[in-house]
Amino acid sequence: MTTNTRAASYTTGSNHTPTIQFPAEHAHRSNGLPDVPNAIIECTNVNVYYNDFRAVTGVDLAFGSKEITALIGPSGCGKSTLLRSLNRMNDLIDGARVEGTVTFQGEDIYHKEVDAIEVRRRIGMVFQKPNPFPKSIYDNIAYGPRVIGMKASNMDDLVEEALTRAALWTEVKDKLKQSAFGLSGGQQQRLCIARTIAVKPDVILMDEPCSSLDPIATSRIEDLMYELREDYTIIIVTHNMQQAARVADRTAFFTALASEESGDRTGLLVEFDRTKKIFESPADQRTEDYISGRFG
């Protein structure tokens, strides 16, 4: 059902080094999206540029609602770039430009009548490095609801709910007025997740959320993601393949390809499928090489 037939077309025979021949027709592909039932975000032929440099080429992807989708791949394969283009965080980078269509609940998020602010309210983001605001724990959570003018009858309840959902409430309930900077790295990251769910988004993007955390803190975040999956769609970029295998329902494997003429590297989607399939019987040789640790 979800077997990705497109993935096979990216393979060029037995040649599976990272610098294989650049498939020239690929940039213009616009054939069918991967078969993901109940998709909430869909990318069709997405190219992301930084000025003249094309960081991501021709991505067709769909993210299932209330699923965890992992984006994996070696450094420079454009997975973080793609992630940031899903809630228009790329708008903040000078010279960044997205071609193709990204739809959220069927609407093109790059349409000129769409406000990026509204997109980000619906699609929240957790960053690589925990980035709590220089405020109290309470104010970190209350900030989002306040700025978007959420009608919260009781802010205290909202803060408690968000912190409870982020599995942080018992640890911080006695020091809500203290600075968020006093928390450990793992707690700070859970605070950032709590802050994101306080504005009740539909989708949470996570850009390597555990890369600066120790294994125990990482496992707590993973447990948390699994619980949040009941209500939220989560898209996570990770360098950690075990993490993808543990938490994700579906996994997209990206690689970096060097163009033959210019030598510029660009990110390319190699294979997208159920996580189990990706890790147990990948269709593409490059996926298998990557997950078995032969490159990247």
Instruction: Return residues touching another protein (CB under 8 A).
Output: 87, 89, 92, 94, 117-118, 120-121, 124-125, 127, 129, 131-134, 143-144, 147-148, 192, 195-196, 199
Measured from the CB atom, is 181 or 295 closer to another protein?
181
SS3 29: coil
User: What is the CB neighbour count within 10 angstroms for residue 92?
Assistant: 9
Measured from the CB atom, is 1 or 92 closer to another protein?
92
Measured from the CB atom, is 134 or 293 closer to another protein?
134
- Report DSSP letters for 219-258, one per residue: HHHHHHHHHHTTT-EEEEE-S-HHHHHHH-SEEEEEEEEE
Measured from the CB atom, is 9 or 179 closer to another protein?
179
Q: Are strands 233-237 and 53-64 parallel, antiparallel or unpaired?
A: unpaired
Residue 245 Cβ vs another protein, minimum distance, rounded to whole Å: 27
Measured from the CB atom, is 59 or 199 closer to another protein?
199
Residue 96 Cβ vs another protein, minimum distance, rounded to whole Å: 13
Measured from the CB atom, is 49 or 290 closer to another protein?
49
Residue 139 Cβ vs another protein, minimum distance, rounded to whole Å: 10
Measured from the CB atom, is 196 or 218 closer to another protein?
196
Residue 119 Cβ vs another protein, minimum distance, rounded to whole Å: 9
CA-to-CA dists, residue 33 to 16, 29, 183, 204, angstroms: 24, 11, 43, 22
Q: Are strands 203-207 and 233-237 parallel, antiparallel or unpaired?
A: parallel
What are the two backbone dihedrals, phi and then psi, of residue 202, each rounded to the nearest 5 degrees? -90, -35
Residue 131 Cβ vs another protein, minimum distance, rounded to whole Å: 4
Q: In sequence order, what are the residues at sequence separation of 6 or more whose Cβ sits closer than 8 angstroms to the Cβ of residue 201?
A: 121, 122, 123, 124, 232
Residue 251 Cβ vs another protein, minimum distance, rounded to whole Å: 24
Q: Side-chain half-sphere of 18: how many Cα atoms within 13 Å? A: 20
DSSP-H helix ranges across the chain: 5-10, 79-85, 116-122, 137-147, 155-165, 169-172, 185-198, 215-228, 241-247, 275-280, 285-291
The CA-based dihedral angle spanning residues 11, 250, 296, 99, taken in that order and rounded to the nearest 10 degrees: 70
Residue 249 Cβ vs another protein, minimum distance, rounded to whole Å: 23
Query: Residue with structure tokens 């078995």?
Result: 292
